[in-house]
């Protein structure tokens, strides 16, 4: 138990959580058909990246540059969520579904 | 030795697992909210106080609400089933595990190549307030990316309004 | 002055003899039973009395002297009601949703500056902390309305969420001038700078209440107040609970203590918003034109804290009174008026105030109107 606590507050702990979130995000993006579900996966991936940046910023460089990159990631995630949801609502009006596999007009 | 940090990490991972596997898209997004909160606590312990606040405001107050909004607008008013039909899960699962393990492994190698901080430096880093430093950096060496982000946000806002406009 | 990260670390160092969850439970108990619950309860009583006065009625007067224990009777009534969950509703979310509202509004009490010596945790991101934890209320309303499986509830919840998300922006922007002036997000520091002392040795560091710092902050205070009204879903912005259109809005299906939690959360939120107006613009614990710590003789710290606490509470409750007064005076807005007011009215005004304050700080080297008039600095 003590080892676990030690691990959790070290850089490796942060990296492990980041990697797990990243893998779950990839999994979510690959398996979900619902466009909003895919968006959830993307948010997980972006958060994983933010965790890694912040962790390296504290445990290795000791500078705040990593935190600034994490802040930019957050802002981009917000912009991306707004646009993505607008696209989803638009797509719903077009196709009466938000199944991402149905978005295949460009295929033929 | 942080029990709170460990709890936050367990919360983060557990709720992320629910996000990844729960068939109901609404539950997945509710648990995404818990993931965001857990990540915010992790940020707090990594000495990123301003970032933790921004994380909660942007993700919980903005992104989660938007997602819940979109779910409720498309799936309740128009009677679409909440349960998400999943594609095949085995291959993506294996792939995601491999990618995650590879990522952790690669970052671990990188960790070994960088010099670690002393415990005193770590302590000092976690207790200095970051808001003023971040502000100075954003208007100093990061001015160009900062301006680019503002234009991106403006474009995103205009684009979202234009996309979602009534016919 | 406890930094947030340091605060988080020190929790374990100081209180090692009880497990952390034990301390968390005890402090939650203290906050809820000695701060939030009496305030929430008394606020319902005061609100009903004020409403009665304004409508020329008597109001609650049966339970206890002048009806003072009415809120206790209400609480007992709520506790003894049937714990009802709608049949088609979502059990898990129905149970979870009221907790979001209560957690969101009660956590903010931790950083309220009740007195210089009585701040739960004077974290260095205090203002952002309040903004952050109160955002938890919106998902609570949205999920509760969804879980009710009721058309009116859902419409109310959607209205509430869109309203809160929209008005978050003018609220944050109207706080920005204060942050510009004080150069800090720490609420203790912001309040401390609003003092005024005629005996003090360095008057330049004190600039009187932020509301009177310059004309722009004066308008910012009203923006924060209006935005706060909208964020707490109070009249004239109580569209989410508009009884003429939506039965009772997002809390239609909630009964018993779950409804009580929603009501408690709402009243605590009103208190938090009023305390924010007080702390950021109305000088917090400071008595106008007097610094009780620099009278020329020293008062005991306990007495200072006592006086400051009461000054702060009086100011805050006056703001709360204005909120209640408006409730029985103004009619409700329409949805389009509400959104139009936010995006076309408050938002440009808030930007104008930020710009104006920045120009003022540049032109007068950060001196307040009072300092300029008194010739200090």
Selected residue with higher pLDDT from C322 and C208: C322
**Least confident stretch, B66-75, C175-184, C235-244, C329-338:** C235-244
pLDDT for the residue numbered C354: 92
Residues B29 and B73 in one domain: yes
Residues B65 and B47 in one domain: yes
**What's the CA gap between C368 and C350, in Å, rounded?**
19
The confidence score (pLDDT) of residue B84 equals 55
Residues of C in contact with B68 (CB under 8 A): 139, 142-143, 146, 161
Residues B57 and B3 in one domain: yes
Same domain, B72 and B144: no
Q: Do C124 and B131 touch (CB under 8 A)?
A: yes
Question: What is the mean pLDDT of the segment spanning C163-167?
Answer: 87
How many CB atoms are located within 10 Å of the residue A42 CB? 17
Count: domains in chain B: 3
The closest of C287, C64, C63 to C191, measured between CA atoms, is C287
Structure token pair of residue C255? 């009964």
In this prediction the pTM is 0.85
The predicted pLDDT at position B77 comes to 47
Q: Specify the pLDDT at position C269.
A: 86
| Binding partners of C (≥3 Cβ pairs within 8 A) | B
Mean residue pLDDT across chain C? 79
Predicted local distance difference test score (pLDDT) of residue C190: 85
Dihedral over alpha carbons C156, C157, C158, C161 (to 10 degrees) = 120
On whether both B56 and B73 belong to a single domain, the answer is: yes
Q: What percent of chain A has pLDDT over 70?
A: 97
What's the confidence (pLDDT) of residue A65?
A: 86
- Tell me how many degrees the CA angle C359-C365-C369 measures, rounded to the nearest 5: 80
Burial class of C363 by CB neighbour count within 10 A (0 to 12, 13 to 18, 19+):
exposed
Q: How far is A108 from chain B (nearest CA, A)?
A: 23
Enumerate the H helices of B22-130 as residue ranges.
25-45, 49-55, 65-75, 90-113, 119-127
Closest residue of B to C161, CA-based? B65
User: Is the predicted pLDDT of residue B134 greater than 80, yes or no?
Assistant: yes
- Given this model, what pLDDT does residue C201 score? 53
Instruction: Work out the angle between the directed axes of helices C20-30 and C4-14 (0-180°, nearest 10).
Output: 110
Residues 6+ apart with CB under 8 A from A96: B78
Total residue count of chain B as it appears in this document: 167
C167 reaches B (C-beta below 8 A): no
Q: Indicate whether B98 and B69 sit together in one domain.
A: no
- Quick one: which H or E segment has residue A84? helix A65-95
Residue B24: beta bridge partners?
A: B83
Instruction: Give strand pairing partners of C118.
Output: C115
In this predicted structure, what is the pLDDT of residue C199? 53
Bridge-partner residues for C290, per DSSP? C287
Query: Quick one: pLDDT band at residue A72, thresholds 50, 70, 90?
Result: very high
Q: What integer is the mean pLDDT of C143-169? A: 84
Q: What share of chain A is helix, strand, coil (3-state, %, to 5)?
A: 85, 5, 10
Same domain, B140 and B150: yes
Residue A58 pLDDT more than 90? no
SS (H, E, C) chain C: CCCHHHHHHHHHHHCCCCCHHHHHHHHHHHHHHHHHHHHHHHHHHHHHHHHHHHCCCCCCCCCCHHHCCHHHHHHHHHHCCCCCCCCCCCHHHHHHHHHHHHHHHHHHHHHCEEECCEECCCCCCHHHHHHHHHCCHHHHHHHHHHHCCCHHHHHHHHHHHHHHHHHHHHHHHHHHHHHHHHCCCCHHHHHHCCCCCCCCCCHHHCCCCHHHCCHHHHHHHHHHHHHHHHHCCCCCCCHHHCHHHHCCHHHCCCCHHHHHHHHHHHHHHHHHHHHHHHHHHCCCCCECCECCCCCCCCCCHHHHHHHHHHHHHHHHHHHHHHHHHHHCCCCCCCHHHHHHHHHHHHHHHHHHHHHHHHHHHHHCCCCCHHHHHHCCC
- Which ipTM was obtained for this model? 0.86
A17 and B12 within 8 Å at the Cβ level: the answer is: yes
Chains touching B, CB cut-off 8 Å, 3+ pairs: A, C
For residues B144-163, one letter each, b for 16 or more C-beta atoms within 10 angstroms of the residue's C-beta and e for the rest, the string is eebeebeebeeebeeebeeb
B80 and B150 within one domain: no
Residue C300 has pLDDT above 90, yes or no: no
Query: Does A2 score more than 60 pLDDT?
Result: yes
Check pLDDT > 80 for residue B40: yes
Tell me the residue range of the domain where B68 lies: 1-86
Reply yes or no on whether the pLDDT at C355 is more than 90: yes
The predicted structure's pLDDT at residue B87? 58
The answer to whether residue B57 is domain-embedded is yes
CA atoms C188, C193, C199, C200: torsion sign: positive
Average pLDDT over residues C349-355: 92
Q: Is the pLDDT confidence value at A1 over 80? A: no
Q: Collect all residues of chain A within an 8 Å Cβ-Cβ radius of residue B87.
A: 30-33
pLDDT over 50 at C2, yes or no? no
Please report which confidence band the pLDDT of residue C351 belongs to, taking 50, 70 and 90 as the band edges.
very high
CB within 8 A of C294, min separation 6: which ones? C197, C199, C200
- The predicted model gives B120-136 an average pLDDT of 81
What value does the mean pLDDT of chain A take?
84
User: Which residues face A99 on adjacent strands?
Assistant: A34
C375 Cβ neighbours under 8 A, 6+ residues apart: none
pLDDT at C3 over 60: no
Output b/e per residue, B65-89; b: 16+ Cβ within 10 A.
bbbbbbbbebbbeeebeeebeeeee
* Higher pLDDT, residue B115 or B81: B115
Q: Higher-confidence residue: C375 or B142?
A: B142
Q: Which residue of B3, B7, B19 to mutate against A (max A Cβ within 10 Å)?
A: B19
Query: What's the confidence (pLDDT) of residue C124?
Result: 82
Mean pLDDT across the stretch C306-313? 84
> How many C-beta atoms lie closer than 10 Å to residue C330's C-beta?
13
Does a structural domain hold residue B125? Answer: no
Q: How far apart are CA C269 and CA C109, in angstroms?
A: 10
SS3 B33: helix
Nearest-CA residue of chain C relative to B27? C93
Task: Tell me the CA end-to-end span of chain A in Å, nearest whole number.
Answer: 57
Mean pLDDT of C109-126: 78
Quick one: average pLDDT of C313-325?
87
Give B-chain residues touching A20 at CB under 8 angstroms.
Answer: 13, 16, 100
User: Per the domain annotation, does B124 fall within a domain?
Assistant: no
Mutate one of B11, B64, B131, B154 to test the C interface: name it (highest C CB count within 10 A). B131
Same domain, B2 and B75: yes
Contacts of C124 in chain B (CB under 8 A): 49, 129, 131
Predicted confidence band of residue C21 (pLDDT cuts 50, 70, 90): low
User: What confidence score (pLDDT) does residue C352 get?
Assistant: 92
Tell me which of 2.70.50.60, 3.30.1300.10, 1.10.287.3510, 3.90.180.10 is the CATH number of domain A2-97. Answer: 1.10.287.3510
Above 80 in pLDDT, residue C122? no
C226 or C283: which leads in pLDDT = C226
In this prediction, residue C200 carries a pLDDT of 52
Q: Choose from A23, A41, A95 for mutation: most chain B CBs within 10 A.
A: A23
Question: Among all residues of chain B, which has the CA nearest to that of C4?
Answer: B49
Which residues on chain B are in Cβ contact (under 8 Å) with A40?
A: 19, 25, 28-29, 32, 67
Check CB contact of A44 with chain B, cutoff 8 Å: yes
- Residue C31 pLDDT greater than 70, yes or no: no
Residues B1 and B47 in one domain: yes
Are the Cβ atoms of C135 and B60 closer than 8 angstroms? Answer: yes
Nearest residue in chain A measured CA to CA from B69: A85
Q: Average pLDDT for residues A68-84, to the nearest whole number?
A: 90
Q: In this structure, are B93 and B80 located in the same domain? A: no
Per-domain residue ranges of chain A: 2-97
Q: Does an H or E element contain A97, and which?
A: none
Q: What does the pLDDT read at residue B21?
A: 83
| CA dihedral sign of residues A92, A100, C153, C85 | positive
**What are the C-alpha distances in Å from A63 to residues A52, B123, B128, C340?**
14, 13, 11, 43
CA angle C193, C198, C202 (to 5 degrees): 55
- Scanning B99-158 for CB atoms below 8 A from C yields 126-129, 131-132
Residues C123, C119: Cα–Cα separation, whole Å: 9
Q: Is B2 on the interface with C (CB under 8 A)?
A: yes
Closest residue, chain B, to C3 (C-alpha): B127
Q: Is C20 close to B131, i.e. CB distance below 8 A?
A: no
The CB density around residue C73, as the number of other CB atoms within 10 Å, is: 14
pLDDT of residue C1: 37
Residue C209 has pLDDT above 50, yes or no: yes
- Record: contact B70-A36, CB cut-off 8 A: yes
Domain ranges of chain C: 33-80, 85-374
* Contacting subunits of A (3+ beta carbon pairs below 8 A): B
Coil, strand or helix at B141: coil
Q: Which residues of B touch A16 (CB under 8 A)?
A: 104
Q: Would the CB atoms of B2 and C129 count as touching at under 8 Å?
A: no
Could you report how far apart the first and last alpha carbons of chain C are, in Å?
Answer: 27
pLDDT tier for residue C19 given thresholds of 50, 70 and 90: low
Whether the predicted pLDDT of B79 surpasses 60: no
Spatial contact of B28 and B22, defined as CB atoms under 8 Å apart: yes
Residue that wins the pLDDT comparison between C21 and C146:
C146
pLDDT attached to residue C96: 87
Residue A61 has what pLDDT? 79
Give the up-direction half-sphere exposure of residue B83: CA atoms within 13 A in the CB hemisphere: 1
């Amino acid at each position: 138990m003590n080892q676990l606590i030690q691990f959790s507050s070290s850089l490796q702990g942060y990296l492990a959580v980041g990697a797990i979130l990243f893998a779950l995000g990839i999994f979510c993006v690959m398996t979900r058909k619902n466009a909003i579900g895919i968006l959830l996966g993307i948010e997980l991936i972006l958060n994983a990246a933010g965790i890694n940046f912040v962790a390296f910023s504290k445990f290795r460089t000791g500078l705040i540059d990593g935190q600034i990159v994490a802040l930019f990631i957050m802002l981009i995630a917000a912009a991306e969520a707004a646009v993505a949801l607008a696209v989803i609502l638009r797509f719903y009006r077009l196709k009466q579904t938000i199944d991402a596999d149905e978005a295949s007009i460009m295929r033929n | 030795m942080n029990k709170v940090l460990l709890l936050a990490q367990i919360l983060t991972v557990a709720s992320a697992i629910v996000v990844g596997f729960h068939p109901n898209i609404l539950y997945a997004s509710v648990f995404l909210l818990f993931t965001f909160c857990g990540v915010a606590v992790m940020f707090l312990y990594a000495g990123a106080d301003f970032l933790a606040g921004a994380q909660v405001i942007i993700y919980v107050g903005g992104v989660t609400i938007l997602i819940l909004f979109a779910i409720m607008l498309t799936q309740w008013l128009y009677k679409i089933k909440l349960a998400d039909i999943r594609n095949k899960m085995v291959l993506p699962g294996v792939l995601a595990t491999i990618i995650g393990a590879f990522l952790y492994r690669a970052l671990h190698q990188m960790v070994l190549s960088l010099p670690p901080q002393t415990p005193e430096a770590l302590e000092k880093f976690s207790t200095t307030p970051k808001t003023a430093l971040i502000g100075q950096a954003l208007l100093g060496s990061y001015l160009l990316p900062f301006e680019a982000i503002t234009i991106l946000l403006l474009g995103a806002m205009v684009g979202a309004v234009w996309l979602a406009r009534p016919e | 002055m406890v930094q947030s990260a340091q605060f988080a670390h020190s929790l374990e160092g100081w209180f090692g003899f009880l497990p952390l969850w034990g301390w968390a439970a005890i402090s939650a108990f203290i906050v809820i039973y000695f701060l939030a619950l009496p305030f929430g309860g008394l606020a319902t009583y005061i609100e009903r009395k004020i409403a009665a006065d304004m409508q020329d009625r008597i109001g609650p007067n049966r339970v206890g002297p002048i009806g003072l224990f009415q809120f206790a009777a209400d609480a007992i009534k709520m506790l003894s009601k049937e714990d009802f969950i709608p049949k088609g509703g979502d059990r898990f979310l129905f149970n979870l949703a009221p907790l979001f509202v209560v957690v969101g509004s009660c956590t903010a009490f931790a950083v309220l500056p009740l007195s210089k010596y009585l701040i739960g945790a004077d974290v260095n991101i205090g203002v952002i902390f309040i903004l952050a934890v109160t955002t938890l209320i919106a998902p609570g309303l949205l999920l509760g309305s969804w879980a009710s499986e009721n058309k009116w509830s859902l419409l109310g919840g959607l209205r509430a969420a869109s309203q809160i998300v929209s008005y978050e922006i003018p609220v944050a922007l109207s706080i920005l001038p204060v942050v510009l002036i004080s150069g800090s997000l720490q609420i203790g520091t912001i309040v401390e700078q609003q003092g005024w002392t005629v005996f003090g040795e360095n008057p330049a560091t004190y600039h009187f209440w932020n509301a009177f710092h310059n004309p722009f902050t004066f308008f910012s205070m009203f923006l924060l107040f209006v935005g706060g009204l909208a964020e707490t879903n109070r009249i004239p912005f109580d569209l989410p609970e508009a009884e003429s259109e939506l039965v009772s809005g997002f809390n239609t299906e909630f009964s018993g203590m779950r409804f009580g939690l929603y009501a408690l959360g709402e009243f605590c939120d009103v208190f938090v918003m009023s305390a924010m107006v007080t702390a950021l613009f109305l000088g917090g614990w400071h008595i106008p034109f007097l610094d009780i710590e620099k009278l020329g003789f020293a008062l005991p710290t306990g007495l200072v804290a006592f006086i400051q606490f009461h000054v702060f509470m009086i100011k805050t409750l006056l703001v709360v009174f204005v909120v209640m007064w408006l409730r029985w005076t103004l009619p409700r807005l329409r949805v389009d008026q509400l959104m139009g007011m936010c995006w076309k009215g408050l938002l440009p005004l808030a930007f104008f105030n930020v710009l104006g304050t920045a120009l003022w700080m540049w032109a007068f080297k950060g001196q307040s109107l009072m300092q300029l008039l008194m010739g200090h600095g």
